[in-house]
Amino acid sequence: MRYIWTIIWALLLSNMAFYVLSSMQGGEYSFGLASGIGLVFALFVFVLGDAGIKDETTD
């Protein structure tokens, strides 16, 4: 379930950022490009969360 929410949030945040930045620059908004960048960002978060950050538990 955490993967689904990560993908949803990555897509929402990247599309929002692309829309705002393209509006501020007077450019054209591209849903496909923004979604692609969001999926790359989600993949980066998956790798960072699973392999890069380890929980250290002390018993």
Give residue-wise pLDDT tens across range 9-34: 999 999 999 999 999 999 999 999 99
Question: 8 Cβ partners below 8 Å, 6+ apart?
Answer: none
Distance CA 59, CA 56 (A): 10
pLDDT band of 58, cuts 50, 70, 90: low
Question: 44 Cβ partners below 8 Å, 6+ apart?
Answer: none
Percent of all residues in the chain with a pLDDT value above 70, rounded to a whole number: 88
Token couple for 22? 């393209």
**Other Cβ atoms within 10 Å of 48 Cβ, number:** 10
Q: Which residue has the higher pLDDT, 34 or 59?
A: 34
Q: What are phi and psi of 16, to 5 degrees?
A: -65, -45
Write down the pLDDT at residue 38. Answer: 93
